[in-house]
Structure 1
Amino acid sequence: MDYGVDYDEYRKIFEDVPCLNEFFGSDALTDIHGEYFFLLLCSVLKSIGLSFEGFSLVFALLSVFITVYAFNKFGWGVTVAVLLYFSHNYFLKEMGQIRNGLSSAILLMAFYYLKNFENKKYFFSVVLASLIHSAALVFLLAHFIIKRSFYSLFALLAFAFVLGFVGWLDMALGLVGQYLPERLSDYIGTDYYSNIGLSNPQTVKQMAFCILFFLIFDEFSKNKKISNDMAVVSLGYTVKIYMASVFFLLIFVEFDLLARRMASYFAIVEPIIMAQCLYLFAAIGERRRYFLLMAFVFLYATVSIFFNVSFREGFDGVYKNWMLEGV
Structure 2
Amino acid sequence: MEIYAIGYFLFYFFALISVDKNSKASTNKVIFSVSFFILLIFCALRGIIDRDHQNYLTIYGYIVHGDGYLIEPSYYFFSLLSDFLTSGPILLFVLYAIIGLGFKFYTFRTYSIFPVISVLVYYSNYYFLHEMTQIRIGVSIAIAIIAINNWLNGNKKFFFILLFISCLFHYSALIFLIIPFMPKRRINAKEMAAYAFVILISYIMFILHFGFATAFSYIPIGYVQEKFAIYSQKAEMGEVQAINVFSVMQLIKIINIILMYFFVAKKHDDSKFFNLMLRFYIFSTICWVVFFDIPVFAVRLSDLFGISEIFILPYLLYVSKNKYIGVFLLTLFTGMVFYINIFHNILLEPYVTFFN
TM-score normalised by length of structure 1: 0.78
* Matched residue, 1:25: none
Deviations, residues 30-56 of structure 1 (Å, cap 9, x unaligned): xx2422333223222222226334322
Deviations, residues 290-324 of structure 1 (Å, cap 9, x unaligned): 12112322343233333322146587xxx474514
Q: Distance in 1 between matches of 2:191 and 2:245?
A: 21
Whether 1:298 aligns to 2:331 is: yes
Q: Distance in 2 between matches of 1:325 and 1:186?
A: 42
* Matched residue, 1:110: 147
Whether 1:206 aligns to 2:253 is: yes
Question: Offset at 1:114?
Answer: 2.9
Q: Distance in 2 between matches of 1:296 and 1:4?
A: 29
Whether 1:11 aligns to 2:57 is: yes
Q: Distance in 1 between matches of 2:196 and 2:179?
A: 15
Match among 167, 170, 177 for residue 133 of structure 1: 170
Deviations, residues 66-118 of structure 1 (Å, cap 9, x unaligned): 10101111152111011111121001111111112111211221232233232
Counting matched residue pairs gives 300
Q: Distance in 2 between matches of 1:142 and 1:234?
A: 12
**For residues 119 and 243 of structure 1, do their structure 2 counterparts lie closer, same or farther at Cα, with a shift above 3 Å needed?**
farther
**For residues 43 and 174 of structure 1, do their structure 2 counterparts lie closer, same or farther at Cα, with a shift above 3 Å needed?**
same
Deviations, residues 115-152 of structure 1 (Å, cap 9, x unaligned): 32322222222222222111121122233233475423
**For residues 192 and 155 of structure 1, do their structure 2 counterparts lie closer, same or farther at Cα, with a shift above 3 Å needed?**
farther
Q: Distance in 2 between matches of 1:102 and 1:320?
A: 24
Whether 1:325 aligns to 2:333 is: no
Structure with higher RCO (Cα < 8 A, 6+ apart): 1
* 1:115–1:237 Cα contact (<8 Å) kept: no
* Matched residue, 2:340: 307
* 1:217–1:236 Cα contact (<8 Å) kept: no
Match among 246, 267, 272 for residue 306 of structure 2: 267
**For residues 238 and 216 of structure 1, do their structure 2 counterparts lie closer, same or farther at Cα, with a shift above 3 Å needed?**
farther
Is 261-270 or 242-251 further displaced after alignment?
Answer: 242-251
Unaligned runs of 5+ in 2: 1-45
Task: Letter of the 1:5 partner, please give it.
Answer: R
Match among 179, 189, 198 for residue 223 of structure 2: 179
* 2:212–2:291 Cα contact (<8 Å) kept: yes
Is 9-18 or 184-193 further displaced after alignment?
Answer: 184-193
TM-score normalised by length of structure 2: 0.73
Q: Distance in 2 between matches of 1:79 and 1:18?
A: 40
* Matched residue, 2:40: none
Task: Letter of the 1:269 partner, please give it.
Answer: S
Task: Letter of the 1:95 partner, please give it.
Answer: M
* 1:245–1:263 Cα contact (<8 Å) kept: yes
Q: CA RMSD in A?
A: 3.2
* Matched residue, 2:32: none
Whether 1:239 aligns to 2:278 is: yes
Unaligned runs of 5+ in 1: 23-27, 222-226
Question: Offset at 1:175?
Answer: 3.1
Q: Distance in 2 between matches of 1:66 and 1:81?
A: 14
Residue 292 of structure 2 aligns to a residue in which SS?
coil
* Matched residue, 2:293: 254
**For residues 234 and 216 of structure 1, do their structure 2 counterparts lie closer, same or farther at Cα, with a shift above 3 Å needed?**
farther
**For residues 323 and 73 of structure 1, do their structure 2 counterparts lie closer, same or farther at Cα, with a shift above 3 Å needed?**
same
**Percent identity for Structure 1 against Structure 2:** 19
* 2:214–2:228 Cα contact (<8 Å) kept: no
Q: Distance in 1 between matches of 2:103 and 2:92?
A: 17
Question: Offset at 1:4?
Answer: 1.1
Task: Letter of the 1:109 partner, please give it.
Answer: I
Task: Letter of the 2:335 partner, please give it.
Answer: T
* Matched residue, 1:169: 212
